[in-house]
Every structure is written in structure tokens, then in C-alpha cells.
Structure 1
Amino acid sequence: MKLFEELQWRGLINDISSPEIEDMLNNKSITFYIGTDPTGDSLHIGHYSSFLIAKRLKDAGHHPILLVGGGTGLIGDPKPNTERPMITKEQLDHNYRKLRKQVEDIFGFEVVNNYDWMKDLNFIDYLRDYGKYFNLNYMLAKETVKSRMDIGITYTEFSYMILQALDFLHLFDNKNTVLQVGGQDQWGNITAGIELIRKKTGKEAFGFTMPLITKADGTKFGKSEGKAIWLDKNQTSSYELYQFLVNAEDEKVIDYLKKLTFLDRPTIEALEEKVKTEPFKREAQKVLAKEVVTYLHGEDEYDKALRITNALFKGNIQDLDKNELADAIRGFDTIQVKEGMDIVNCLVESNIASSKREAREFVSGNSIAINGIKVTDVEYNVNKEQCIINNYTIVKKGKRNYYVLELI
């Protein structure tokens, strides 16, 4: 299976600007780029598929460039329903440096910053050299602009399309970059760049987009309980990443395996069959979690995530060291309660039990464990001396329900 066909099988092709792209990817060696604005100081799991596409192309003999938008990040790509908050130059520079290191460490891509060629651009040159090539009706027809017309869009955001097109032109002229790759929501900006190159140089450039990865309900993939799943293990621990992936929906796990791993077709199709015949084993989810955690953070971090998972499942949290406990705690929402409270009131105050009566039933029914030790006495007091790490106590209710209490 050639590269283009593999990308199609994996569901990674959404739009293409020209049929020539198939031959270009299969039989030539080209320079291409993928861009991201440094709105955060780490990539998140939603970026991961896009960057793996770039890695797939690199492994097939193409040269990837990551453009981090230190210039466009000062403007902000229009969101569908609201204007993005402005970020300071200092924060953007910090984010750029962090993203550059992250991408170089994980993927080994060349990284450029569009602030380098935008910072000296004056307004007159911008209008004369670039703005005159953009018809207003053409810009208004783009989906990113149309979606904002009812609630309004500022001129600043409206100009983002031209700035991204300028990026493509700059890389085309200076690095022989003939292809831009992006998510499907970037199609309007990519085609704007292709048009600018054609009008300015008379030459052809190309672009393709990939579908956005979603959950079964159509919402974006990449958040757990409202929190982004970051690729930086200091922001999202390997254990948290493992848990996020191992809990993937049966309906979507094969899609994720295709897009987020390098596993071959026979392996993925065998796992697909197991999802149908033995879904309770969650084998596909476990393989997905192993592949992604290992690729991003290494085998040691994967082993660590597995140790934490097994200890929590079996209730043996005392087997974990302090670093593992810290990662385990980060995987749960923290509930603050006053220290010295008896276990019954503590369970009610933390909403682990709905009433004192229910709390007593939990305790007398042997359903409550504090830091891995069963509590059967309703007079038991929860104190800082019992904390398993810092001021944190882990409460287990039943077989699998965990809560982290911060004693204050």
C-alpha cells in the first residue's frame, strides 16, 4: 500500500487541492509544512494526529517544516463563535520556545517562526504586496469568516487569512515548500495561500486537510472532564494520558488506532474484530494507550502508568512510590475538606455520600478505604497524619470509585 492509499485507509485525507497530490506523495520527495499558533506552551492530543501525518510523510522521504505562528498568534485565527483573547508577546515567545523544543524532541522536525518575517512588515507594504490579491467576496465566502458574520468579526481576525497565505508564500519562495497540511478547519486559509502563490508567482502550490478527530457524539477529541490532554507529561501525566486513551469509546477506538498509531492494517483489523467479539476485554483500548504513551514518553513512563493503574484497580496504593502517587492524584479532581472530621461527616462534606445515613452504611458495609486501608469504625477521624502524600488522602468507595481529599 503506497503512502496516499495508506493515508486514505487511515481516514487522514479530507480535502485535496489537486489530484496531483497522490503522485507527489507516492513518487516524489517534497518539502511541506504544517502550522500551529503558540496559544499554549504544549501541544495537546488533538494536535497529535496532524503531527503524526507529518511524521508519516517524513518517513516516506518528504521534508517537514513546523511553522509556529509567533506572528499570527498575536492576531488569532477566528474561532467559530467568539474572538480569541489577545496574548502578550512575552507569553507567545515563551510558548514558542517550549513548542519548538517539544516538537524537535518528539518528532525531529525543522521549526520556523513566522514572527521572523512578519515583524518588519509595514502596513503599506502589506496592503500593496498582499492585500490587493484578495477579493473581498472571496474572503467572505470562506467558512471561518461566514461562521462569524452573524455575531461579528473584527478586521484583525478577518486579516488572519491573508497572514497565513503570506506564510505559505514565504516558505514557497525561501524553502521550496510546495505543500501545506492542516486540519479540515484550515481549508480556507490553505487555499488562500495557494491562490496567493499562483497570483504572485504564476506557479502552483498544493494543500490537503485531514478530518478533525472527534468523539462518538461529534465533539472534539482531546479533553477529559473539561481539561485538555497535553503531550507534555508535566502537564498531563503519562498515567492521565493512559487513562484517557484506555477509556476510549468502542465506536471510536479503531478510528483512533488508525490515526494515532503506526500499527499496520492486519494488526488493527484483528483488534477491530476483538472489539466486536470481546469488547469487555478492551484490548484495542489498551493497545492504543500503550502505543501513544510509549511513543510520546517512552517505555518507562508506560510501565509507570500501568503500575499506577493496577495498584488503583487492586486497591494497593501503598505499593506506589511518591512520584507515582503524585501522578495518581493528578488524575482525579481534588476535594477540600477540614482535617479532624470524622469519617461520616467527611464522606458527606465531600459528596462521596449523599447523607450521614448512607455514609454510615458505606463504612459498616466495608465499602470505604482510606489510603488503601479499610475503615469500618464510624468514629474514625481523618487527619493530616494519615495523608499519603503532602496533605492529600485517597478515599476509595467500593471497587473502583476513587476520590482525592485535600485536608485543610
Structure 2
Amino acid sequence: MKKDFVEELKWRGMLQDMIPGTDELLRKQMVRGYIGFDPTADSLGVGNMVQIMTLLHFQQAGHQPIALIGGATGMVGDPSGKSQERNLLDEAQLQHNLQRQKAQLEKFLDFDCGANSARIVNNYDWFREFSFLDFIRDVGKHITINYMLAKDSVQKRLETGMSFTEFSYQLVQGYDFYHLWKNEGVLLQMGGSDQWGNIVTGTELIRRKSSGEAFALTTPLIKKSDGTKFGKTEGGNVWLDPKRTSPYKFYQFWLNASDSDASNYIRIFTLRSKEEITAIEEEHAKAPHLRFLQKELSADITARVHSKADLDAAIEASEILFGKGTADALKALSEDDLLAVFEGVPQMRIARTELENGIPVIDLLADKTGIFPSRGETRKMLQGGGVSINKQKVEDIERVAGKDDLLNNRYLLIQKGKKNYYLIIAD
């Protein structure tokens, strides 16, 4: 039995607004609906996951999802939610970004399931030959300046200034909807609540230009419980591309969510049923300090965005940090993951030539790096079994560290006691 799309969004907390009659239309027939994605980066971020999941629920409810990659609108710049105008990209960079985003979308949506197979379209395809004069004659005359000025995305920028390029964005996006309505039978546009004004410009253009009817639906903008913006960390955006955000950091982003945020996220970003989520929350409530809810959330999303192997590696990396990981797991970490796991750990450098010749561990820890204040204290800690190199306890106080000990041919991980780590970098 297929899902009821609107009811699915409601219980997951993913429904903000919709034009009256939208739910009746969706229950009556298979509907083609689309969401636009901004191509100004070569990766989608976790903020885009809300709309990806919306399209996924849409498809699972028996409808046809269309992802519109804004090759043309990316050359204009959407003012919604922006405090200043964005830098515009050239066509070569946009094409690169489009291809990378398309590959990411293909991981979530089913593009080979018959009548409701997902599709990807690029609005540059229909704007490429559309001259400016034709556009203002065929589109601009149907929407008044008063109508455009009333939009929140415009009002918020009037004091600081807004270029005509950005001001025209809602007309460009509105025409996307008109084009897809007329040529592809698309009846619904979806998006975040900040897009409501742009979306209804499309429904208005369809009404005024062709006396047609179209529908709109938006999802809430997500904010963390502390009021800060979702999808951001101190290091910047959290991306779906592992080259931009490693699977370990991606996993940690979800794992570090507060209880209230995790309860919200597991509804929005996973396909778990209402009953499964309730059971997870009940289990979490028995021992919140074990973070069962966060672990289930981060495991689900990391495996789907990346892979089961990446999830396993992220979990192993997390265990290394908290003292449970093995030496073999440490050696298996990539350089990026190693540095991500031990970000913030004190680092010290030594000449690579010294390690190639071999350095007695006591010299290394006391004289060369100052991890211990004296040779005597180093010897005492070694004798007590309190020092590990690369997660292996040093049992011989005469041990010599050499180039064969280097992780990724450059690093030594020193552990003093249970919780104190140091990363030695051989240059």
C-alpha cells in the first residue's frame, strides 16, 4: 500500500504550507512534482537533504519526482534568505557542479521504476535560446511590479539594496514552473518555506498566462534547538561529498545532535516508520547517556549518504578516539580521517630524518617533543604501562621508534594514560 504523501509529511513534521486542494489532487491521481536545487557548489549539503527526502517520500507515495538543477537560475542568484548578492558562476563551473549534484541525487531516487521514475532536468535547456526581449514580452508583462515587491525575499533586501538581476529571479523561477506545467504536465512545485513566494509566482504566472491551475507545497526551515542554523559547524557547511566532509565528520555531525534535535532529525532524514522511531526513543529514554537515538540516526544517514563500509570506518574511528579502537583500525584510517579524529589534539613536529635513523622512545617523549617534562617521568610512566604508540602499549622501555611506525608515512600517535593523546608529525 502506497503512502499518503501529505499525511507522511505531517507526522514527520515536514509540512509548512500548501495551496488549498493540493492534498485532494495528490490522493486523486499520480502527480508530477518538482523541487529546484541550487548549483552554486559541486556538492549538495545536509540542508538539501530535507528536499531530497521530500522527493523520496513523494515517489514512495506513487508520484513522479523531478529534480530541477538550476543551470540558468544559478547564473542569476536566488535572493531568498540571503543578506547579500552571491557571486555568479561561469557556465563551465556550473556544468561541473550540475554533474556532481546529479550523481548525488541518483543515490536516493529511483530512476528506473516505470511511470513514476525520477527525472532530472536543467532549466538552462529552455532558457538557453530565450532572448531577453522575448522573456520580458512573454513573461514579464503578466506579473506586476507591485506583486513582486510584496515578496518577503524582496522586502528584506530593499534597505541594503538589490540588483535587477536578483529582483528578476522570481520571474525566472516562475517561468520554470510554467514551462514544466505546459510541456511536462507538472502540477506541483515543492521547496523550503523560504521559497513560497517564488513558487506561488509560478502558480500565478500559469493562471494569468494560460488560465491554468497549479499547486504548491513547502517544508519548514530547520533550525537547531539552540536557535543556530542547521547544517553548519564551526568548520562550515556539512556536505554530502566525502571529499568536502569526510564520512567520519559526517557521522559525528549527527552523533553530536542534542536529544531534541535528534528526535526531530530521525523523522525528517530517515525512512524509519512511526513505530520504529517510537521504539528507538523509548529505548533511548532508558539511558540517555548512551545516546542510542543519536547512534541510530547517524548510522542510518551515514550508510545511505556514503556506504555501510564508510559507516563502519566512522564508528571504528570514533572508538579509536575514545580508547576502544585497535591498532589495526588506526592503521586503516586515511590521512583525512586520522586528522579529523584527532582534530584539536596537541601536535608537535620532528625532523623525519631523526625517525628514519630511529629514536629511543624516552628521547622522543621527553627531549624531542616535551610530551613528558623529564626523562625520569617518562621512564616511570613507561614502566607502569601508561604509554602507547599507535594504540599499542610500549612494554619495552628501551624501544626505538622508527619510520616503520609512521601512520600514513607521516604520523605517530602517542597516548599517555587513558585520555591524553598527542600527534607527532614527521616533516
Q: Where on the TM-score scale, by shorter chain, does this alignment land: which range?
A: 0.7 to 0.9
> Residues of 2 paired with 1:402 and 1:175: CA distance?
59
Residue matched to 1:92: 94
Q: CA RMSD in A?
A: 3.1
- What residue ranges of structure 2 are gaps of 5+ in the alignment? 111-117, 352-362
Residue matched to 2:114: none
Look up the equivalent residue of 1:236 and give its one-letter code. T
1:182-232 deviations in Å (ceiling 9; x for gaps):
011111111111111111110111111101222112222212322322222
Whether the 8 Å CA contact 1:74–1:86 is kept in 2: the answer is yes
Pick aligned residue for 1:137 from 139, 146, 154:
146
> Residues of 2 paired with 1:148 and 1:9: CA distance?
34
Residue matched to 1:295: 304
Residue matched to 1:185: 194
Pick aligned residue for 1:210 from 203, 208, 219:
219
SS in 1 for 2:225: coil
Look up the equivalent residue of 1:371 and give its one-letter code. N
Q: Which has the larger radius of gyration?
A: 2
Q: How far does residue 371 in structure 1 lie from its aligned partner after superposition? A: 2.8
Whether the 8 Å CA contact 2:19–2:216 is kept in 1: the answer is yes
SS in 2 for 1:388: coil
Whether the 8 Å CA contact 2:350–2:369 is kept in 1: the answer is no
> Residues of 2 paired with 1:3 and 1:35: CA distance?
19
Q: How far does residue 299 in structure 1 lie from its aligned partner after superposition? A: 2.4
> Residues of 2 paired with 1:34 and 1:163: CA distance?
14
Whether the 8 Å CA contact 2:45–2:231 is kept in 1: the answer is yes
Look up the equivalent residue of 2:101 and give its one-letter code. L
SS in 2 for 1:65: strand
1:44-97 deviations in Å (ceiling 9; x for gaps):
111112111111110111001100011110111114311111212111110011
Aligned ranges 1:203-282 → 2 under 5 Å: 203-282=212-291
Q: How far does residue 344 in structure 1 lie from its aligned partner after superposition? A: 6.4
Count of matched residue pairs: 399
Whether the 8 Å CA contact 2:107–2:305 is kept in 1: the answer is no
1:330-354 deviations in Å (ceiling 9; x for gaps):
5244887532496569878xxxx9x
> Residues of 2 paired with 1:317 and 1:130: CA distance?
64
Deviates more, 1:271-280 or 1:286-295: 271-280
SS in 1 for 2:71: coil
Is the counterpart of residue 149 in structure 1 residue 151 in structure 2?
no
Deviates more, 1:388-397 or 1:53-62: 388-397
Residue matched to 1:371: 390
SS in 1 for 2:333: helix
SS in 2 for 1:116: helix
Q: How far does residue 356 in structure 1 lie from its aligned partner after superposition? A: 7.0
Pick aligned residue for 2:313 from 294, 304, 310:
304
Look up the equivalent residue of 1:11 and give its one-letter code. G
Look up the equivalent residue of 2:77 and give its one-letter code. G
Is the counterpart of residue 339 in structure 1 residue 358 in structure 2?
no
Q: How far does residue 171 in structure 1 lie from its aligned partner after superposition? A: 0.7
Deviates more, 1:254-263 or 1:297-306: 297-306
Residue matched to 1:106: 108
Whether the 8 Å CA contact 2:411–2:423 is kept in 1: the answer is yes
The TM-score, its normalising length taken from structure 2, stands at 0.83
> Residues of 2 paired with 1:205 and 1:214: CA distance?
29
> Residues of 1 paired with 2:241 and 2:94: CA distance?
17
SS in 1 for 2:191: strand
Is the counterpart of residue 123 in structure 1 residue 120 in structure 2?
no
Pick aligned residue for 1:390 from 405, 409, 419:
409
Q: How far does residue 407 in structure 1 lie from its aligned partner after superposition? A: 4.1
Look up the equivalent residue of 1:309 and give its one-letter code. S
Aligned ranges 1:350-361 → 2 under 5 Å: none
Residue matched to 2:52: 51
Whether the 8 Å CA contact 2:317–2:325 is kept in 1: the answer is no
> Residues of 2 paired with 1:371 and 1:44: CA distance?
34
Whether the 8 Å CA contact 2:415–2:421 is kept in 1: the answer is yes
User: Percent of pairs identical after alignment?
Assistant: 38
Q: How far does residue 398 in structure 1 lie from its aligned partner after superposition? A: 6.2
Whether the 8 Å CA contact 2:284–2:292 is kept in 1: the answer is yes
